[in-house]
Structure 1
Amino acid sequence: MADRKIFAGARVRAARTKVGLTQRELARRLEISVSYLNQIENNQRPLTASLMLTLAENFGLDLVELTSEGADRVLADLREAMADPLFGEAAPGLIELKSVAASAPDTARAMLRLYEAYRKANERLMGADAAMVGGPGPQTSYEEVRDFFHYANNYIDPLDLAAETLAASIGFALHGRLERLANHLTARHRISVMFEEPNSPDQLRRFDRASRTIVLNGRLAPATQYFQLGVQLALIEQAELIDEIVAGAEFKTRQAADICRLGLANYFAGALQMPYGAFLTAADRTGYDVEELAFEFGASMEQVGHRLSTMQRPRARGVPFFFARVDAAGTITKRHSATPLQFPRFGGACPLWNVHWVFGEHNGRIARQLAETPDGNRYLCLAWSEEKHTGGFRGPVRRYAYALGCEVTHASKLTYAADLDLTRGFEPIGISCRICPRTNCIQRSVPPMDARLEIDVDRREVVPYRLG
């Protein structure tokens, strides 16, 4: 991507507007003509290296952000939405969608919200999804919050910095860490922490505001107990900052705001458990070894995978990862991506992806896959499964599979790639069947929504149709 032309008109225009400069004033500071700047802001001319440096030095724009694949996230979502037969021949072409994603990202996101509202209304009317018959509910709110983190690149700078500061204050040493955090709550907020048998197997924590007592499930692993204590601490100590972030997001419903508030508290807890600077140093040193990092930071592999997907602090970025959690039914219940790989917004994920292999095997062991998506991007994909027990022999068990991966251009930094040939052997995967253009996939479940089908009643193959 070294020779890729950088079109960042929307970012340049936003930076100019933020400091109250006219095009003429900014052009004078950049020592270029007004017409040249106008072309840059309208994505008719790319940014040169010297202009990017000047913008970074004088306006605080991050070079990595200017050259990031942020527009690819919006573009992938637009392409998936436009594959709906609703648009038919009126669907914009790829070049036009790229232009909208790059130059008018807010408009593109508004279009996506409008399409999603249409799709859900249509499903309710047709009874296609009984869970949503009751109208807009938690699912809609969850998706709105998902998009908030998605477009924030899954990194929340003020919360991350606050968590890192607190972690340094209470000490990084694993031994006695939980006790020190509990002492901090007592000393600063007059809150006591207790460990006891839960009222129900699925209860993780409970905060009794009247007695100012936090009750943690005594059966939880220490990593989970620390995380849950960190979540409650965030809701108390970082309430003002969290409210400010939520208010800035301008969610449509109070429910979405509440869901985001909890998501931000979870984010803080993960950052407290694995402070950014120390965690990034350890990740580089260990070759991003998930199991080793889990041991060093007293965390679960799931917590480490999630944290790796957030390491996008400006001027101190780690390897950009995607991370997902999949339940036994194949539903993606967590999704974060700092890479061009996009998870399906509508429908299931590609069955050729290795995250589907690991249920029933590879329990706790990491499986590797070299994969290529239809857009030509190549990835090193890691996957493992885990069972979570909250009781005895007859207690409930939750089963999940986890996916973690990066583009092969970064794979050499990972210990998992040391014995792999990163030049060949890539398996074809897609985002979801409904938008995948591959014509020879024997695992295809449904045809692409924008494809013409050819049916031959006298010929039968594994897939009962051909794509025209």
Structure 2
Amino acid sequence: MSTQKLYAGVKLRELRGRLGVTQKAFADKLGVSLPYLNQMENNHRPVSAGVVLSLVQEFGFDVTELTTGDSERIVSDMREALADPVFQGGTPPLADLRLAASNAPALARAFLDLHRAYRQTHERLASLDEALGREDAALKPSPWEEVRDFFHYCDNYIDAIDRAAEHFAMPGGQRKDPVVTATEALTRAGVDISFADSPLLRSYQAEGRKLAISARAAGPTQRFQLLYQVALTTQNDLLDATLDLARFATPEARDIAKIGLANYFAGAALLPYRAFQQAALDERHDLERLADIFGASIEQVAHRLSTLQRPGAKGIPFFFVRVDQAGTITKRHSATRLQFARFGGACPLWNVHRAFETPGQFLRQLAETPDGVRYLCLARDVSKSGGSFNAPVRRYAICIGCEVQHADALVYADGLDLRGKFEPIGISCRICDRRDCHQRSVPPLERRLRVDPDRRGILPYQIAE
């Protein structure tokens, strides 16, 4: 099991800044000496249990904030970037990467931006992109990646929009039928709603304010699309204000992000925070029961569980990932220490890949990552019909999981031996330290290889210690 010490210097400095107190006054409140506080704020010493207790008693601080945030995401992203063959020197130790992520997160992000720019330039050169010869060929970040990183580093939780959606879905504190609430709101705004036999899930004509929802779509999809239109129609000022704060580099990124924020509102209105969180606790996070209670899909429920990160009222930290049949990650988020690879697919040892073989069934897995952290993982296929015999079927699988210390709060842990064998999984072969993995596709770029032409095991090489 992982016994990683808690270094949270940035969080301590942020809290002291919000309180507007000196280091001396802050140290007195925490019951430590000024030099000791200085060492903790600079990550030279871990945060002790006594300090954690004082943070709660003196300031009502949500201590889960000490172990969440950007650090693990930044470390994971830097490890993957440094595995690039362009870095031919020795890879910095993991401890150094954690210090950089904790003490200088802005510098770490600048490094990641630089590496992303390098990759884009390299890809253009490799494909002989004719755009390089144009005058307007200035390097720009991919709008899709820019938006993905925005949500990634916001912890996939947008407080203002989440609370607005909850207020919309629960006027007076009572949850109403989302279809009724959405229909009333759109009707008041002068929108004419109809259900059409169309392959388009949603179609809106601004001229005439006509909204058509596909009659072929499943109930959860229809509800979601109605609430999406509510976001664009009644919450436009809030969406634009959030986009203004994000300061995206391109208009395309802003447009993509606006769709993402409207989707966020729709999901948060369909599954309002406090009501959904309480139901999740009551039902022990049974995805099927929650889907039935809220009229949502299993994928919508699983995704929402990973966003319950409201300060002072956080849920169990979950990771959530969706993959296609090729293993490509199409959605990803993690409120846990496990972070997904930015490039490529997911580890083939994860049960998410086996979900395609057992449609309609939940697969449970007890898994352990190379850092020694253990997880309870749950996977299921979420294939989506096109609505007719000739329409293509979209096939995906989702995986949701949490660290094993939270497993008792999940119905899916019943009957499992949580002290038994855990399957080894990784993040990406390029940065995975496991030396004997039978599913390894490429060597780890942080390790040296030994090649013996007279011996052959599972792999055609050996990974040095």
Shift of 1:91: 3.2
CA distance in 2, matches of 1:133, 1:357: 46
Letter in 2 for 1:182: T
1:8–1:103 Cα contact (<8 Å) kept: no
d(CA) in 1 for partners of 2:316, 2:250: 35
What SS class does the counterpart of residue 431 from structure 1 fall into?
Answer: coil
Q: Distance in 2 between matches of 1:158 and 1:256?
A: 20
**2:246 matched to 1:249?**
yes
8 Å CA contact retained: 2:317, 2:336 = yes
Distance 2:44 2:252 in 1: 41
Match of 2:462 in 1: 466
TM-score between the two structures when normalised by the length of structure 1 = 0.90
Identity %: 51
What residue number does 2:339 align with? Answer: 342
> In the TM superposition, what is the alpha-carbon distance from 1:108 to its structure 2 partner?
1.3
State the Cα distance separating 1:291 from its structure 2 match. 0.9
Instruction: For residue 197 of structure 1, report the CA deviation from its aligned partner.
Output: 2.1
What corresponds to 1:426 in structure 2?
422
Task: State which drifts further: 129-138 or 381-390.
Answer: 129-138
Amino acid in the other structure paired with 2:148: R
SS at match of 2:377: strand
1:311 match? 308
Q: Residue 81 of structure 2 corresponds to which residue in structure 1? A: 81
Amino acid at match of 1:379: Y
Are the counterparts in 2 of residues 56 and 63 from structure 1 also a CA contact under 8 Å?
yes
Contact 1:192-1:212 within 8 A present in 2 as well: yes
Q: Secondary structure at the match of 1:313?
A: coil
* Aligned-residue offset at 1:55: 4.9
Alignment length (residue pairs) = 461
1:327 maps to 324
* 1:316 aligned counterpart, secondary structure: coil
1:296 CA drift (Å): 0.8
Q: CA deviation at 1:30?
A: 5.7
The one-character-per-residue Cα deviations of 1:410-455 (angstroms, maximum 9, x if unpaired) are 1111111110001122111110111111111111111111222222
Give yes or no for contact 1:7–1:40 (8 Å, CA) kept in 2. yes
The whole-number CA distance in structure 1 between the counterparts of 2:133 and 2:302 is 35
Q: Structure 2 length as normaliser, TM-score?
A: 0.91
Which residue of structure 2 aligns with residue 206 of structure 1?
203
Residue of 369, 373, 378 corresponding to 1:382: 378
CA distance in 1, matches of 2:49, 2:403: 24
> What CA distance in whole angstroms lies between the structure 2 residues aligned with 1:400 and 1:137?
33
Name the structure 1 match of 2:125: 125
CA deviation profile, 1:370-424 (whole Å, cap 9, x unmatched): 1111111111111111221223211121111111111111111111111000112
Q: 1:172 aligns with which of 167, 175, 184?
A: 175
Query: What does residue range 355-374 of structure 1 map to in structure 2 within 5 Å?
Result: 355-359=352-356, 361-374=357-370
| Match of residue 277 from structure 2 | 280
Deviation at 1:25, TM superposition (A): 6.1
Unpaired segments ≥5 residues, structure 2: none
Secondary structure of the equivalent of 1:195?
strand
> Structure 1, residues 137-177: CA drift from partner, whole Å, max 9, x if none?
99822222222222222211111111111111296355xx4
Amino acid at match of 2:202: R
Query: Relative to 1, partners in 2 of residues 1:242 and 1:39: Cα closer, same or farther, differing over 3 Å?
Result: same
Task: Give the drift of 1:355.
Answer: 0.7
Q: Does 1:239 find its partner at 2:240?
A: no
Other structure's SS at 2:89 match: helix
Q: Helix, strand or coil for the counterpart of 1:389? A: coil
- Alpha-carbon separation, structure 2, partners of 1:408 and 1:28: 36
Q: Which residue of 1 aligns with 2:162?
A: 160
Per-residue deviation, 1:14: 2.9
The 5 Å alignment of 1:33-72 reads 34-49=34-49, 51-52=51-52, 55=55, 61-68=61-68, 70-72=70-72
Distance 1:19 1:253 in 2: 36
Which range moves more in the overlay, 450-459 or 347-356?
A: 450-459
Task: Confirm or deny: 8 A CA contact 1:452 1:467 kept in the other structure.
Answer: yes
Contact 2:284 2:409 in 1 (8 A): yes
Q: 1:57 to 1:412 in 2, by over 3 A?
A: closer
The answer to whether the 8 Å contact 1:197/1:218 transfers is yes
Name the aligned partner's letter for residue 217 of structure 1: S
Which amino acid is 1:341 matched to?
L
Consecutive aligned runs of 4 or more in structure 1 exceeding 6 Å deviation: 57-60, 128-139
User: How many Å apart are 1:368 and its aligned residue?
Assistant: 0.9
Matching residue's letter, 1:402: I
Summarize the Cα distance change of 1:173–1:128 in structure 2 as closer, same or farther, 3 Å threshold. Answer: farther
Residue 88 of structure 1 deviates from its aligned partner by 2.7
Q: Secondary structure at the match of 2:355?
A: coil
> What is the CA distance between 1:76 and its match in structure 2?
1.5
Aligned to 1:186: 187
CA, structure 1 residues 155+285, in 2 after alignment: closer, same or farther (shift >3 Å)? same
Is 1:447–2:465 an aligned residue pair? Answer: no
Q: Which moved more, 1:343-352 or 1:27-36?
A: 27-36
Residue 262 of structure 1 deviates from its aligned partner by 1.2
Query: Which stretch shows the higher mean deviation, 149-158 or 89-98?
Result: 89-98
Instruction: Go from structure 1 to structure 2 and tell me whether the alpha carbon gap of 1:168 and 1:130 turns closer, same or farther (over 3 Å shift).
Output: farther
Q: Which segment drifts farther, 391-400 or 328-337?
A: 391-400
Distance 2:131 2:341 in 1: 19
Sort the Cα spacing of 1:20 and 1:244 in 2 relative to 1 into closer, same or farther, 3 A: farther
Asked if structure 2 preserves the Cα contact closer than 8 Å seen for 1:69 and 1:339, the reply is no
Distance in 2, matches of 1:71 and 1:299, equals 33
Matches of 1:167 and 1:7 in 2, distance apart? 39
- What amino acid does structure 2 have at the position aligned with 1:462? I
Describe the SS at the equivalent of 1:459.
coil
1:396–1:159 CA distance, 2 compared to 1 (3 A): same
Distance between the aligned counterparts of 1:430 and 1:32, measured in 2? 39
Q: 1:7 to 1:456 in 2, by over 3 A?
A: closer
Name the counterpart of 2:411.
415
Question: Deviation of residue 11 (structure 1)?
Answer: 2.1
